[in-house]
Amino acid sequence: MDRQSLSAFLEVAECGSFSIAAEKLGLTQPAVSKRVAGLEHHLDTPLFDRIGRQVTLTEAGFALLPRAEGIMQSMIEAEHSVRDLSGSVTGKLTLATSHHIGLHKLPSVLRRFSQKYPDVGLDIDFLDSERAYELMLRGKIELSVVTLDPNLDPVFYAETIWPDPLHLALAADHPLLELEDVALSILSKYPAILPGLNTYTGQIVSNLFNKHGLKLNVSMSTNYLETIKMMVSIGLGWSILPAGMLESPIRSIALGEPSLHRELGFVYLRKRSLSNAASAFIRELQMEAIKP
C-alpha cells in the first residue's frame, strides 16, 4: 500500500465522492479511481460500494479507514522528524482555523510567520471549531487555532491566546435598549439569532438559559458570526457576539447575569510530534498573548 493510494482512499471516504476527492487532491477523477482500484486489487476486496452517484464504504473499507489514517499520520510524522533534524523551519504546515479567528485574529500572525519562514507552505482549512477537533483526531490537521472546547478531551493540549468576552448584541432600534439591563426571562421572549447549539459558542448561551429553566426563542441559526452581526443590525433578532464586533449600528446593554466569555487559542494532539513549522507558528501565537 503506497501513500498515493491511501491518500486517494481517505479523500474519497471523507468526501463520499470521487469527483470531489479528485478536486481536493488536484487530480483527475480517472486518476483517483485508478489509485483506489489499485488498492482494492492489492487487498483483493472492494472498498467502496458505487450505487449511482453515491459512494459508501464497504465493510472492508470501514475496517481499513482507521488503519489508513494511522499509517498516513505515521508517514507524515516520520517525514517531519527527518526534515526537522536540521533544525530548519521548512515543509508544509496543515492548519485549521475558524472563519472568525481567520478574519479578526490571525492576519498579523500569518504575516509575521510568512515573512520569517518563507520556506513553509501553509495549508489552511477554514472550518467550524468542532470539525477541527475531529480532523486532528484523524491525523489530517497538525495544529488548530479555534474556539477552545470548554470540556477539553485530555488527548488534546490547548492554550488560550485570546480571551473573548461575549456581549448581548441588539439593533439600534431594538425595544430592549430602553432597559438598563436585561433579565434572561425577558430576553427569552424575543427572537434570537445564534450559532448552532452544537457549537461551543452556541452551547455557552444554551447552557446559561438551561441553568435557569428558560427556553431560547431561536428564530435563525448560522455558524458565521459576520452573518449573525448583519442580521442583528437590521433588527431580525438579538444575539451574543464578541466585544470586537460591537460597532455601529450594533448596540449592547448589560445582561443581568455573570459575564459570558469563550477562549480562543491553539490546540494539538498530545501524542503527535509537532513539526518545526508548527512549533514556530505556536511561538508567533504566544507573542500575541503577551501583547499589551
- Structural fold of domain 89-292: D-Maltodextrin-Binding Protein; domain 2 (3.40.190)
pTM of the model: 0.73
Comparing 42-46, 53-57, 119-123, which segment has the lowest mean pLDDT? 53-57
Q: Which residues pair with 157 in a beta bridge?
A: 268
d(CA 242, CA 265): 15
For the chain, the domains span 1-85, 89-292
Confidence (pLDDT) at 106: 95
d(CA 149, CA 15): 25
Across the chain, where does the E strand assignment appear? 48-51, 54-57, 91-97, 120-126, 143-147, 156-169, 181-182, 192-194, 218-221, 239-242, 254-255, 260-269
The 10s digit of each residue's pLDDT in 48-107 is 998 777 889 999 999 999 888 888 877 777 776 666 655 678 888 999 999 999 999 999
Q: For the CA atoms of the chain, what is the radius of gyration?
A: 23
The 10s digit of each residue's pLDDT in 153-207 is 999 999 999 999 999 999 999 999 998 888 999 999 999 999 998 899 999 999 9
CA 83-117-290 angle, 5° bins: 115
CATH architecture of 1-85: Orthogonal Bundle (1.10)
d(CA 3, CA 46): 18
Report the SS3 class of residue 3. helix
The sign of the torsion formed by the CA atoms of 218, 162, 260, 154 equals positive
